[in-house]
Amino acid sequence: MAREIVDAVTMRRALTRITYEIIEQNKGVGDLVLVGIKTRGIYLAQRIAERLQQLENVTVPVGTLDITLYRDDQPHTVDVAGPARVNGADIPVAITGKHVILVDDVLFTGRTVRAALDELMTLGRPAKTSLAILVDRGHRELPIRPDFVGKNIPTALTEQVAVLLTECDGRDAIQLTQVT
């Protein structure tokens, strides 16, 4: 049974805190590009960009990454003849020389972030890459650490964290479920 551990108001506060930290650590938002990791990271990146617009009156570009073909922990299937085509990135500006902030909902083993970094490097060479995460649940398998964290939620390996977002789930919440 799922147990709600963060409600919509607390989630909004966490995203606002991440936004302020981004502004403070970067002394502005001039060369920033936000890149959301599909699916929920995209919506979170858009929300952070909206808040940056409100606070700094600057439009920060928001891109998307679908890291499916870069994962090392899931089998790849190609159901068309010929070489696989990678159509996983939609970033509206060149990232070379920019400060790219990868955005995702939950940081667990670090494998999703590693895959996102691999894909990002095929697109250009950012001056700096940072990581913004709504929930850091621990249990890293790779040496990856977020720069901006909305909520640290220690979990057991037998628990699952689910981030619900209005854009795809009809409401904002974070739930914890015991997996058997």
Map out the domains of the chain with their CATH numbers. Answer: 2-178 (3.40.50.2020)
Give yes or no for residue 24 having a pLDDT over 50: yes
pLDDT, mean of residues 52-59: 96
- Across the chain, mean pLDDT equals 91
Give yes or no for residue 76 having a pLDDT over 60: no
- Diameter over CA atoms, the chain: 49
Beta-carbon contacts of 168 under 8 Å, excluding residues fewer than 6 positions away, are: 39, 40, 43
- Residue of 113, 118, 115, 151 whose CA lies nearest to 130: 113
Which range of 61-75, 79-93, 157-171 scores highest in mean pLDDT? It is: 157-171
pLDDT 10s digits, 84-113: 444 589 999 999 999 999 999 999 999 999
In the three-class reduction of DSSP (H, G, I as helix; E, B as strand; rest coil), residue 55 is classed as helix
pLDDT for 75: 61
pLDDT for 87: 57
CB 141 within 8 A of CB 110: yes
| The Cα angle at residue 113 between residues 112 and 115, in degrees rounded to 5 | 65
